[in-house]
Chains A and B, each alone.
Chain A
Amino acid sequence: MAELTLRDAISLGLREAMDNDPRVIIMGEDVGAYNGAYVVTKGFLEEYGESRIIDTPISEAGFVGAGIGAAMAGLKPVVEIMTINFSLMASDQIINNAAKIHYMSGGQYSAPIIIRTVTGGGAGLAATHSQSFEGFYATIPGLKVLTPAFPDDALGLLRTAFKDNNPILYCEHALLYNVRGEIPDDSSFEVPFGKAKTRRNGSDITLVGYGRSVHTALLAAEKLQERNVDAEVIDLRTLRPLDIQTLIESTQKTHRCVVIEETWATGGFGSYVAYEIQKNAFDDLDGPVLHIGGLDVPAPYARNLEIMTIPNEQWILDAVEKEFGL
């Protein structure tokens, strides 16, 4: 078992794919000479050369579309969009082309592209650079959306992604790159899509998150333990496909469930998750399924304001006390 940061786990997965499959190319804004905006592709340009590590102009619709076209014609492109905020410029390509081409062509064409992008707020980047759209993309049939929160999942999901023939949005939370964790040495270690992971076992309440909100939930679980409340924490890991079964089973055990995400609570993907749980575990509930999302404001710049907008462990503790009396 090696300990790696989440950043290094992604790098490792990318290197493996570059080494194993000549169809793999990496393209995006400053992935080459700059080493990647978040330094994930550091040293790649020297190692693999500019025919496979392709710096693109700041032209998201153009290069994401080009990645999709290349995938249609036999390549396995990894396209990096510097942040998910800029994916809006390419949303026509992602939603109208990547997600549709297989179905609309009656299965004749497919777009096995991996779009890596950085999501999440909390870094003082203000309203246009602090958004989390992974939940929105997860509403679109034809896409697969991955949200690794730990290094082992980052690597395991990436390995699976390289074997998958569909367009994949691989969402890396900006504040998780330095999270450290054990990576299995076994090179066949993979993480399947559509299988949530229980990151902490508990019997009194189920806390569900994805990306950084898993870490928030784990902090809350520690605090709940001080109140003698034993919380289970489940990491969705992939939003599409979505593993509802694990959530149902956990809720049937604990009778209480809280879904936590960082994006705006209104219409958030978590509210759909909460709906599925209440529908499928209704008779086992000891209270409403809670959905904790971010505040409905454009992300403010000032630190004291921004921390008011993103759910932290105290939000979870307060909600659990208010709604369940725990």
Chain B
Amino acid sequence: MPQMGYDMKEGRLIKWLKGEGDEITTGEDIAEIETDKAIIPMPSPSGGILRKIITPEGEMVPVGTVLGFIGTLEEEIPSNLTSVPVENNNIPENENVTELNTSEPIEEPIIETPKSSSETIKASPVARRIAADKGIDLKLIQGTGPNGRIVEKDVLNYSQPSASPQPVTEAPKVSTTPSNINSEIIELNRMRQAVARTTSASSREAPHFYVTTDIDMTGTMEIRSQVNKALESQGKRVSVNDIIIKACAVALKNHQNFNATFHGDTIEIHPNINIGVAIDLDGSGLIQPCIMSCQNLSLAEISVGTKDLINRARENQLRAEEYIGSTFTISNLGMFDIESFTAIIAPPNCAILAVGSVRQQPVVSDGEITVKQMMKVTLSVDHRANDGAAAARFIGEIKSLLEQPIGLLV
């Protein structure tokens, strides 16, 4: 099949104008070829006798395919002639591209699609580079650039939480070699990486201690059901956690050292009380967005705010400051019927409250055994920022606020 145009790839043999045995001169039309443009008579490339027709009429064949054999009477017809494209013809299927010494290697673009925008930290490339060089976790930095972007000066102005800048020791890498041939190796998603990074940094850098107390929640539960009855017509509900947030907000006003960030040689007391809430994203990860300025919010407002926060967290609609702005965190596993646990402080906070479930328990009170609704809470404290007695006083205030909850409604 001849090439009858620079872009021709195949053609249809419409009609043989000569039959087997016919004598042919060079240039004489021997067949009609249909290209995608037209039907064209095909001149014979050589003279002789059309000894054999290989490609039958009507066949669509690639350029370079043998159509027939022209030769002298004496010539033997090659037995291997078939209606397939001739090998080694000069029409490349794909152009041969010879590698150039001068050309740059073409790298496959690596496109990472974050699962959710909540995993993305907006930081300029140079800010990222400096942060990586200094071992600073970008999550700890408040961006002041356009749209909350962490820019160069934010990283340069950020002082390390440790007394002296230390060479960063990488979190111990777990061998990726499977110990068992049947093991499945799962790549960490971005959120998992972030949790791994921050919790190990916190464990490493912040010396934790813990104080635990039992809180009688009977009064709180009573008030909650009354409030919820009143709110029923509005379709609103206050959760136990909302009340705990409110209690913490009130307590933090009097214990500002727990609404703080440790900076090595200074402690920064935050003017706003932004309480972070650990939210489980249905198994896909953990984030701790915060309710901003809790000191100004009523219980009802906190309740609305929490629900909104959880909804938006699940829909990736959180604002940047809500990811990184928390000043104190509450982690509540009560809904999982966990009695008590200890939590790792989320930097740059200096304390976190771990809340267990509210459960009916026999309690000895005034010499009598009564059944009360009890809840265990454990405060994790960064010892660099606060001592045990201060922690006891702080958790004590939370306890008394929750045991006499009427004050929280005001």
Contacts and interface: CB of A to CB of B under 8 A. Distances in A.
A and B: bona fide binding partners: yes
Interface of A: 255, 282-287, 322-325
B393 interface: no
For the complex of A and B, 9 pairs with smallest distance between CB atoms:
A286-B124, A286-B152, A285-B125, A283-B129, A286-B126, A255-B126, A283-B125, A286-B151, A284-B126
5 contacts: A255-B126, A283-B129, A284-B129, A286-B125, A287-B151
A175 to B, nearest CB: 33
A284 B129 CA distance: 8
Contacts of B125: 282-286
A286 B127 contact: yes
B126 A324 contact: no
User: Among A286, A287, A323, A324, which residue has the most Cβ atoms of chain B within 10 A?
Assistant: A286
A110 B149 CA distance: 52
SS class of chain B's interface: helix, strand, loop or mixed?
A: helix
B124 A287 contact: yes
B360 interface: no
A272 to B, nearest CB: 16
A324 B146 contact: yes
Contacts, number: 35
A65 to B, nearest CB: 27
* Size class of the B contact interface (CB-based, 8 Å): 10 to 19
Interface string B140-169: 000011100101100000000000000000
B129 A324 contact: no
A285 B144 CA distance: 16
A248 B371 CA distance: 74
Interface in B69-124: 124
SS class of chain A's interface: helix, strand, loop or mixed?
A: helix
Contacts of A287: 124, 145-146, 149, 151
B146 A283 contact: no
B143 to A, nearest CB: 10
Contact of A322 (B127, B144, B146, B152): B146
Nearest to B152: A286
Contacts of A324: 145-146, 151
A237 B144 CA distance: 36
Contacts of B129: 283-284
Contacts of B124: 255, 285-287
Contacts of B145: 286-287, 324-325
Nearest to B128: A283
B126 A325 contact: no
B211 to A, nearest CB: 43
A286 B143 CA distance: 12
Given A283-B125, A283-B128, A284-B129, 17 more contacts: A255-B124, A255-B126, A282-B125, A283-B129, A284-B125, A285-B124, A285-B125, A285-B126, A286-B124, A286-B151, A287-B124, A322-B146, A324-B145, A324-B146, A324-B151, A325-B145, A325-B151
A285 to B, nearest CB: 5
Nearest to B127: A286
Contacts of B146: 287, 322-325
Contacts of B128: 283
A322 B145 CA distance: 9
A105 to B, nearest CB: 22
Contacts of A322: 146
Contacts of A325: 144-146, 151
Given A255-B152, A325-B151, A283 B144 contact: no
A283 B125 CA distance: 5
A283 B126 contact: yes
Contacts of A323: 146
A255 B152 CA distance: 8
A300 to B, nearest CB: 31
A325 B146 CA distance: 6
A324 B152 CA distance: 10
Contacts of A285: 124-126
A271 B307 CA distance: 45
